[in-house]
Structure 1
Amino acid sequence: MTLVAILFFGLMVIGLPVGVVIGVAGMGGILQMGPRFMTMAPDRVFAGLDLFPFLAMPFFILAGEIMNRSGITMGLVRLADALVGWLRGGMAHSNMVASVLFAGITGSATADAAAFGNTLVPAMVKGGYSRPFACAVTAAGSIIGPTIPPSTLAIIYGSIMGVSIAGLFAAGILPGLLICIICMIVIALLARRMDLPKGQERPSFRIVLRALREGILAIILPVFILGSILGGFATPTEAAAIAVAYSLLVGGVVYRALSWRDLYEIGVRTTRITGVIFLIIASATILGWWMAFNQVPQAVAESLLSVSSNPDVIIGLILLLLLVIGLVMDINATLIILAPVLAPLTLKLGMDPVHAGIMIILALNISLMTPPVGACLFVLASVTGEKVEKISAALMPFILAEVCILILVAYWADLTLFIPRLLGL
């Protein structure tokens, strides 16, 4: 175990890609297990990737890229502005509502951060907001993407742990909406102290209706995705494939906003994002195999249970572990490595598998906006030119608020399971 730990942390400090770090550390562990296990490693890697639900990820990523590139998602921004833009701090509220609408298309925090970092952040700065605050609002709203369906993290978790993906999708709806609500409360509380700009007068019903008409084609997609999956008419993979066809039809034929060069760049970007995720999954399969061989999950469970027999204390320790590891590690890798370790422990505590899955996913989502390796922080820093330190400082009220939602989700199972039970999932 010492060799694996040295390889893992040593290569991470050097700065190698996380997929390479996990793979090399895992192979070091396999060598310790014995030469005959090396011949079995390729089969384990293939088995780790040979899961039908994983096909949904590249399709959802592709659909989101098409919608974003074709400008369809700007209709969502205009709709959000018509609904809440008239409030004090209206552009910040609009950013948050748009994140909810955008989340139902991409399921990706970094896609949200990149899209709104290029569009809404400059508009907010021009409207009188400080750039760090505008970036902070965007980062805080971006984690709604991988919480509300279609969440790529839910697909990964459900696939590797054998938990209903449809159930995880349904369970993510209320937590995602609560994140939006509490962030809007934070904005409202900061509005007067920071003297945030006040929007124009409340729009008429006709203006709201016009904005709804402009954004209806984008709104239909997440409604269709959720309806088909939760209704049992399509698997997540089938719904994702249909989402790609729909986005191509709307972006290319209705809006006529896609060129062949756009399609090429969309394909390249989708391939890169998918390749990185699949490399991490493949590498984590090897490391997970080594951990199972050495009974690491059982050791972690026993060590946590030795601290206290109180389930509430154990859940608190799990949340703390996820938040701390999320500070220094990619969330996809963390999920793939820790889910097989923590999920059996949550079952011992009597937690529903769907409830435990959403708790783990939400905890890791929060780490997307926490330094030093929060992906959304670096995306926003790169597209806006703002320093990560300033964005992080402006994010603190939002991080604290979202941790409160995480605690609520962790200890109130009925909140998370209300919609899945309502739908019979």
Structure 2
Amino acid sequence: MWQVFWVFAVLLVLIFTGLPVYLSLLLTSVLFMVGMDLPLNLVVIKMFGGVNSFSLMAIPFFIIAGNIMAKADITDKIIDLSDSLVGQFKGGLGHVNILASMFFGGIQGSGIADASAIGGMLIPAMEKQGYDKDYAVAVTAGSSMLSPIIPPSIAMILYSYYTEIPVSRLFLGGVLPGVLIALLQMGVNRYVYAKRKYNIPTKSFSLKKLIHSLYGSIGALLMPIIIIVGIVTGIVTATEAGVIAIAYGLLYGFVISKKLKIKDMPEILISSGHTTAIVMITIAAAAALSNVLVRMRFQNEVLNFVVNTIGSPISGTLFLMVVIFVLGMFLDPTVLIAMLAPTVLAIGNAFGFDAIHYGVVMVILMQVGAITPPVGSFLFVACGVANLPIDKAVKPLIPFIATVLIVVLLSFFIPPIVTLLPKLIV
């Protein structure tokens, strides 16, 4: 196990020197492969093998579809609808931020895109209304957690790829936990609104405005419905659904909203290619490091310790949760899924848990690292949008992190929160 300790120690040192995560993963892999006297061409083989999958093609397709919809002014429509639904309550724009993130997750599936798109519009708007900048960033970063949980989720696609669990069931398993997180975060928002003694005027509820905003956004909201129904019914795979999402996005942008122009397409494709490259090179590099860890028997050691040494399904799972939470503070959720998904599945099976239940709970927990310092990617994006130092956003973000952890524990101890919808699939 000391070898594994040094692997993570070297990896963290490289990350803290400012190197990109994928490069830190690659350098760590190369260093320990040399130390283990393994051929370096194994790095290339494992990298290509890590991304050589039809299933993973769903990721760039959903990224392109999300960028198309964003360019077609989908963000405006979602915020208008959210404002019509919850804007009249105390803490209105905070509620709107959270609800908009939930809707946005049903279209994009990326927390970074959520923090950038929603944060870019609502952080300045919240400041203008009188909210403190640190709190506006905390709401944005915290609610961006909803995008990787609400289907179609890129995180669930990755977990499905590594474990061969049907992605349709994982998608449905994330729905109720995602809704619960949103409700708890709205509760936090209302409490903080009162505690900070904000007194921001709210608009009265207007049924006419709600109907108008619902009518204006129905075309956008149809997209996740088409995707989920297609996947759940087995008509299309997740990858094929990504292609349909692109086709629908083009139809929506060019015909329905008429906001999308031919001249926008190069920018959309370049931006999507950049995002896809980051995700894929991280997955590829994680595959190389995972091979090193496999040769060190890291996954087997974790499985043996949790199942045989701890023994108790409850205690063993709670220990695994602590390990994932701590690792998540330093490693990107994509890396965690790549390294730990098969181990999580094996531990869940050994303890007799439902694979969907156990997998969804752990995937949600793995995403928490994206909003925790020191390397939380969603937090970095939200702070970047607001031009706020990360340390200023940490304290107001803690209650939002707590909401996710509470839902993780509730989902673990009350399995129907996760399994109710997946069991509806015959």
TM-score bracket for the superposition, by shorter chain length: over 0.9
Cα distance in 1 for residues equivalent to 2:12 and 2:91: 43
Structure 1 stretch displaced more, 43-52 or 230-239: 43-52
Does 2:31 correspond to 1:28? Answer: yes
Residue of structure 1 equivalent to 2:190:
188
Cα displacement string for residues 249-270 of structure 1 (whole angstroms, at most 9, x for unaligned residues): 2113333323444322221111
- Of 43-52 and 231-240, more deviation after overlay is shown by 43-52
Q: 1:200 aligns to what?
A: 203
Q: 5+ unaligned residues in a row in structure 2: which ranges?
A: none
What residue number does 2:253 align with? Answer: 251
For residues 46-100 of structure 1, the C-alpha deviation after alignment (integer angstroms, 9 at most, x for no partner) is 2221211100000111111111122122111111111111111111111111111
Percent sequence identity over matched residues?
Answer: 31
Could you say if the C-alpha distance between residues 396 and 39 of structure 1 is closer, same or farther in structure 2, counting changes exceeding 3 Å? closer
Tell me by how many angstroms 1:194 deviates. 2.3
One of 403, 406, 414 as aligned partner of 1:412 = 414
1:152 corresponding residue in structure 2: 154
**Aligned counterpart, 1:287:** 289
Task: From the superposition, tell whether residues 402 and 41 of structure 1 become closer, same or farther in structure 2 (CA, over 3 Å).
Answer: closer
Question: For the Cα contact (< 8 Å) 2:383–2:389, is it kept in 1?
Answer: yes
Partner SS state of residue 328, structure 1: coil
Match of 2:395 among 389, 393, 396: 393
Give 1:377 shift: 1.3
Preserved contact between residue 325 and residue 369 of structure 2 (Cα < 8 Å): yes
Moved more, 148-157 or 350-359: 350-359
Deviations 1:2-37 (A, max 9, x none): 7645642332232211111212222333334445x5
Contact 1:29 1:290 survives alignment (8 Å): yes
Give the count of matched residue pairs. 422
Q: CA RMSD in A?
A: 1.8
Q: SS at the partner of 1:9?
A: helix
C-alpha contact 1:174 1:415 (8 A) present in aligned 2: yes
Paired residues of 2:344 and 2:359 also in contact (CA < 8 A): no
Judge which range, 414-423 or 342-351, deviates more.
342-351
Give the Cα–Cα distance (whole angstroms) in 1 for the partners of residues 17 and 388 of structure 2.
25
Residue identity opposite 1:25 in structure 2: T
Q: Give the whole-Å Cα distance in 2 for the aligned partners of 1:15 and 1:182.
A: 35
| Structure 1 residue 346, shift from structure 2 partner | 2.0
Runs of 4+ in structure 1 displaced over 6 angstroms? none
Per-residue deviation at 1:395?
Answer: 1.1
CA distance in 2, matches of 1:39, 1:381: 40
Q: Please name the residue that 1:422 is paired with.
A: 424
Q: Distance in 2 between matches of 1:27 and 1:156?
A: 24
TM-score, normalisation: structure 2 = 0.94
Question: Do 2:97 and 2:140's aligned partners in 1 also have CA atoms closer than 8 Å?
Answer: yes
Q: Which moved more, 1:314-323 or 1:387-396?
A: 387-396
**Matching residue within 322, 325, 343 for 1:323:** 325
- Counterparts of 1:417 and 1:115, CA distance in 2: 31
| Mapped partners of 1:84, 1:52: distance in 2 | 40
TM-score normalized by the length of structure 1? 0.94
8 Å contact from structure 2 (residues 98, 143) kept in 1: yes
In structure 1, the residue matched to 2:357 is 355
Letter in 1 for 2:204: E
Residues 214-229 of structure 1 aligned to structure 2 (within 5 Å): 214-229=216-231
Shift of the alpha carbon at 1:419?
Answer: 0.5
